[in-house]
Structure 1
Amino acid sequence: MNFQLTVLAIALALSGCTGHAARERLGIEDATVLKTGIGASQDEAAGAANAQWIGAYVPIGNSRTALASLQQRLDQLPGDKTGYFHAKAQCWIDAAQQARQANDHWGFVEEAIGQAAVITMSLENGTPLSAANPVLRTVSTVRPDLWQIVNTIKADSATAQCPEAQQPLACAEVELIQAGHDAWARNFASAEKRLPEIQGKLRKSAETALQCVQAKQVSVAPMRAQQNITLRADSLFRFNGANEAAILPAGKKHLDDVVTGLSKVSAIRELKITGYADRLGSDVYNQNLSLQRAQTVMRYLRGHGVTLPIVALGQGSANQVVTCKQTKHDELVKCLAPNRRVEIQFLVAGS
Structure 2
Amino acid sequence: MKTPLTVLVCALTLTACADHAARARLGIQDPTLLQSGIGASQDEAAGAANPQWINAYAPAASGGTALASLQARLNRLPPEQNGYFRAKAQCWISAGQEARQAGDHWGFVEEAIGQAAVITLGLENGTSLSAANPALRTVSVVRPDLWKIVNTIKSDPVTASCREAQQPLACAEVELMQAGHDAWVRNFAHAEKRLPDIQDNLRKSAESALQCKQAAPASAAAQSPAMPRTVTLRADSLFRFDGGNDAAMLSAGRRELDKVARSMKTTATLRELRITGYTDRLGDNAHNQSLSLQRAQTVAAYLRARGVTVPIAIRGLGSAKPVAQCRQTRRDELVRCLAPNRRVEIEFVVAPS
User: Tell me, what secondary structure is at the counterpart of 2:167?
Assistant: helix
Q: Mapping of 1:167-316 within 5 angstroms?
A: 167-221=167-221, 266-267=266-267
Deviation at 1:112, TM superposition (A): 0.2
Residue 127 of structure 1: aligned partner: 127
State how far apart, in whole Å, the 1-side matches of 2:173 and 2:213 are. 23
Asked if the contact 2:219/2:266 (under 8 Å) is kept, the reply is no
Matches within 5 A, 1:35-184: 35-37=35-37, 40-184=40-184
Q: One-letter code of the match for 1:7?
A: V
**Counterpart residue number, 2:13:** 11
Query: Within 1, Cα distance between the matches of 2:23 and 2:201?
Result: 22
Superposition deviation, residue 161 in structure 1:
1.3
Higher relative contact order (CA 8 A, sep 6+): 2
CA distance in 1, matches of 2:37, 2:219: 61
Q: Which runs of 5+ in 1 are unaligned?
A: 228-258, 269-347
Task: Kindly provide the CA deviation profile for residues 140-188 of structure 1, in whole angstroms up to 9, marking residues without a partner as x.
Answer: 0000000000000001001011011100000000000000000000000
Say what the alpha-carbon RMSD is for the aligned residues: 2.7
Distance verdict in 2 for CA 1:113–1:223, change over 3 Å: closer
Give, in whole Å, the separation in 2 of the partners of 1:123 and 1:264: 19
Shift in alpha-carbon separation, 1:179–1:120, aligned structure 2, 3 A: same
Which stretches in structure 2 are left out of the alignment for 5+ residues? Answer: 227-258, 269-347
CA offset digits 1:29-75 (Å, max 9, x no partner)? 11111124488352101111011111111111111111111111111
Matched residue of 1:67: which SS? helix
Structure 2 equivalent of residue 305 of structure 1: none
**Greater CA radius of gyration, 1 or 2?**
1
Shift in alpha-carbon separation, 1:102–1:39, aligned structure 2, 3 A: closer
Amino acid at match of 2:101: Q
TM-superposed CA distance for 1:8, in Å, is: 2.6
Q: Kindly indicate whether the alpha-carbon contact (under 8 Å) linking 1:172 and 1:198 is maintained by their aligned counterparts in 2.
A: yes
SS in 2 for 1:80: helix
Q: Which amino acid aligns with 1:160?
A: A
User: Scaled by the length of structure 1, what TM-score is found?
Assistant: 0.62
Give the 3-state SS of the residue equivalent to 2:80 in structure 1: coil
Indicate the larger mover: 75-84 or 21-30. Answer: 75-84
Query: 1:265 and 1:194, CA in 2 relative to 1: closer, same or farther beyond 3 A?
Result: closer
Secondary structure at 2:137 match in 1: coil
Name the SS of the counterpart of 1:8 in structure 2.
helix
- Work out the CA distance in 2 between the residues paired with 1:79 and 1:37: 46
SS in 2 for 1:204: helix
Alpha-carbon deviations, 1:246-299, whole Å to 9, x = none? xxxxxxxxxxxxx9xx9898149xxxxxxxxxxxxxxxxxxxxxxxxxxxxxxx
Please report the TM-score for the alignment, with normalisation by the length of structure 2.
0.62
SS in structure 1 at match of 2:24: helix
| Conservation of the 8 A alpha-carbon contact between 1:32 and 1:41 | no
- Deviations 1:191-236, CA, capped at 9 Å, x for gaps: 0000000000000000001001112223434558x97xxxxxxxxx
Sort the Cα spacing of 1:86 and 1:222 in 2 relative to 1 into closer, same or farther, 3 A: closer
| Percent pairwise identity | 67
The answer to whether the 8 Å contact 1:107/1:138 transfers is yes
Distance 1:57 1:92 in 2: 15
- C-alpha distance in 1 between matches for 2:223 and 2:193: 47
Q: Secondary structure in 1 aligned to 2:178? A: helix
